[in-house]
Amino acid sequence: MHLLHRSLTLVSFICIASAAAGAEGAEPVRIQSEKHAFRVGIISDDLQNPWGMAFLPGGDLLVTERPGRLRLIRDGELLRTPVAGLPEITEHGQGGLLGIALHPRFPAVPWVYLSYAGAGKGGYGTEVIRGKLDGLKLVDVQRVFAAMPKSGGGRHFGSRLVFGRDGTLFISLGERGEQDYAQDLGDHRGTLVRVNEDGSVPADNPFVGMQGARPEIYTYGNRNIQGLALHPQTGMLWAHEHGPQGGDEVNILRPGVNYGWPVITYGVNYGTGTKIGEGTHKEGMAQPIYTWVPSIAPSGMTFYTGAEFPGWMGNLFVGSLKFGVLVRLELDGKRVLREERLLDGAFGRIRDVVQGPGGRLYLLTDERRGRLLVLSRAG
């Protein structure tokens, strides 16, 4: 599982430097990867710590900014005025306005779902709202979920949002830096939760009716899930999550399963390098299908299904905050066969990756002056 060939695509220093220094509208940079030559274009370099994005029918793009703004990009231009109608959202450490997802029947059902760090008694916790998009405004805004209990600190809010094929909503929740709660079914921290589109609890959730358990919980023992994607063929939910020092994981998430944190992990304690928990394996706790040691700090995740890059069909793409690379994983069913690392840190911290109209890949960089990048095929 771990002794795989991992390659880093290299480009000239001059090419990388010019890409990193380029501004909006700069000439796209050409990069040669193992399977395709591609170009990296900069659509916008004026986003403040962008975190998540979702394409609307017709090609408009909604982008969340961690300080609490929802932005619209239309015809390749970032509109100056943010989308109105959101509640007041405060940036708090790693928290702020984070994940985004559209209702599966959008625009016939025009709900936009947003996750953020909500303040309340005890501190902060991940919350999810939905609102109907009406031009440049959200109307009829409703809160559909709030993780409990809230806690202090500014770490590990999770916050990726994905709809399953059955129309239920998956919400990733970090353990907020308080690791032992990830093993407590009476606490939302360190779990993946599943709710109906209106926030009610699906009757077939695995812990419904269990005394002392939060009925929204779908999986537990998760440290901080920062990537969620449905497999295009099987419909199964794949995720990656941050390990501590080492031990980032890719998992396939199944109902009721314990993914081990902090009892088992492939990482170690920061600074000291000492062991965490009981090792890497324990009966009754799931093993990841892939790990990164050292950590890459993964964020954002998508399966590629487009026509722009036929050699990448079925590959899994993951952004890296730590190294500023775009990781391409070749798969054989549930096995990772090969890893290739693209971009070599040229554009900064990769926060999100999605497939857009026509099969191009779009990336967000998590910087105070963050960028929206587009990857298109070059010859």
Q: Is the pLDDT of residue 34 over 60?
A: yes
pLDDT, residue 78, reads 98
List CB contacts of 291: < 8 A, sequence separation 6 or more.
Answer: 1, 2, 243, 247, 248, 249, 250, 266
pLDDT, position 26 = 65
Residue 192 pLDDT > 90: yes
Query: Distance between CA atoms of 256 and 222, rounded to whole angstroms?
Result: 12
d(CA 249, CA 262): 13
Q: What pLDDT is recorded for position 359?
A: 97
pLDDT of 170-191, one tens digit each? 999 999 999 999 999 999 999 9
Strand pairing report for 335-342 and 350-355: unpaired
- For 217-270, write each residue's pLDDT tens digit: 999 999 999 999 999 999 999 999 999 999 999 999 999 999 999 999 999 999
Domain ranges of the chain: 6-377
Q: What class does CATH assign to 6-377?
A: mainly beta
pLDDT of residue 203: 98
Q: Are 282 and 329 in contact (CB under 8 A)?
A: no
Instruction: Clarify whether 188 is annotated catalytic.
Output: no
pLDDT at residue number 23? 45
pLDDT at 16: 44
Q: What is the pLDDT of residue 141?
A: 98
Q: Is the pLDDT of residue 28 over 90?
A: no
Please identify which residue in the block is written with the tokens 């269990």: 210
Contact 255, 237 (CB under 8 A): no
Give 160: exposed, middle or buried? Use CB within 10 Å, 0-12, 13-18, 19+.
buried
Catalytic residue among 156, 188, 240, 242: 156
Name, in order, each residue with C-beta under 8 angstroms of 256's C-beta and a sequence gap of 6 or more.
206, 207, 218, 219
Burial 322-344 (b: 16+ CB within 10 A, else e): bbbbbbbbbbeeeebeebbbbbb
List beta partners, residue 330: 338
The model carries a pTM of 0.94
For the cut 90, the answer to whether the pLDDT of residue 11 exceeds it is no
Give, as one character, the DSSP assignment of residue 31: E
pLDDT tens, 55-77? 999 999 999 999 999 999 999 99
Phi, psi of 373 (to 5 degrees): -110, 155
Confidence of residue 352 (pLDDT cuts 50, 70, 90): very high
